[in-house]
């Protein structure tokens, strides 16, 4: 079986894989929804079931998924703490409705955990959205509060996530895994209703989709290299000729 995903100027897909766009949203912003925004939406709304009394910790909050998650969580009325890897990124992520920001370059490793606990008055977060993985996932388990939910949806650190079970089982915390493609293939998830709702909210101005840059298909490699360096804020969109 071939791996999912490709780049092409033209593609044929089943009708069940597409949905109509409402007025008020263009193709560039709509292109950012099916992966980053849909992932953030599903993780917060369906898995973590975020409520207005919750405190949500969003890691890599300046990324496409992270900036979406900050807005989705804030709209529910939840208190949002946005983590990012530089003061500039943390401040930028805070513009999307975060109630507190944390520059992890100034609070590395154990200091990050200490600062999260300080910001939550020692309780820890109700939900941690971990888009980083590796050693950051171990910290997520220490930052979650009693009865909380840690949602793991990536490992951009590309390193093993070694954890101490004592960091989460005494707190009756839940660890929830998410991978969008497998959810569709093995779980039967139909993303169209969620995509339509997201697109309608973007069109209405409820959510803002930050597009850092649009690059032509011929420069896809450079776009990936920028992502790997974690230089971007928000989404990088690849456009084919004629878009």
- Residue pLDDT, tens place only, 15-52: 888 889 999 999 999 988 999 999 999 999 999 999 99
CB contact set of 16 (below 8 Å; sequence gap of 6+): 190, 192
Query: Which letter does DSSP use for residue 77 in this model?
Result: T
CA–CA separation, 168 and 146 (whole Å): 9
What would the pLDDT profile of 47-104 be if each residue is shown by its tens digit? 999 999 999 999 999 998 999 999 999 999 999 999 999 999 999 999 999 999 999 9
Model-level pTM? 0.91
Question: How far from each other are the two terminal CA atoms of the chain, in whole angstroms?
Answer: 30
Question: What is the number of other CB atoms lying within 10 angstroms of the CB of residue 49?
Answer: 11
CA–CA separation, 5 and 92 (whole Å): 30
Burial (CB < 10 A; 0-12, 13-18, 19+), residue 98, is buried
Question: What is the number of other CB atoms lying within 10 angstroms of the CB of residue 168?
Answer: 19
CA–CA separation, 76 and 6 (whole Å): 34
CA–CA separation, 106 and 166 (whole Å): 27
Instruction: Please report the pLDDT score of residue 3 as a whole number.
Output: 61
Is 104 in a helix, a strand, or coil?
Answer: coil
């Amino acid at each position: 079986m071939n791996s999912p995903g490709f780049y092409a100027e033209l593609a044929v897909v089943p009708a069940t894989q597409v949905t109509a766009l409402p007025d008020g949203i263009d193709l560039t912003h709509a292109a950012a929804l099916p992966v980053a925004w849909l992932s953030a939406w599903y993780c917060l709304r369906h898995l973590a079931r975020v409520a207005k009394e919750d405190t949500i910790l969003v890691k890599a909050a300046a990324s496409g998924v992270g900036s979406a998650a900050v807005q989705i969580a804030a709209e529910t009325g939840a208190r949002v703490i946005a983590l990012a890897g530089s003061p500039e990124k943390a401040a930028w992520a805070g513009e999307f409705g975060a109630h507190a920001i944390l520059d992890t370059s100034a609070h590395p490793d154990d200091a990050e955990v200490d600062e999260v606990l300080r910001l939550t008055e020692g309780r820890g977060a109700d939900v941690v959205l971990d888009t980083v993985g590796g050693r950051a996932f171990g910290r997520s388990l220490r930052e979650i509060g009693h009865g909380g939910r840690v949602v793991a949806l990536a490992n951009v650190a590309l390193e093993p996530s070694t954890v101490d079970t004592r960091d989460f089982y005494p707190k009756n915390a839940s660890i929830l895994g998410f991978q969008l493609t497998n959810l569709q293939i093995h779980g039967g998830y139909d993303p169209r209703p969620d995509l339509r709702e997201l697109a309608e909210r973007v069109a209405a101005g409820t959510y803002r989709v930050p597009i850092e840059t649009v690059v032509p298909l011929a420069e896809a490699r450079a776009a990936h290299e920028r992502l790997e360096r974690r230089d971007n804020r928000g989404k990088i969109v690849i456009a084919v000729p004629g878009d």
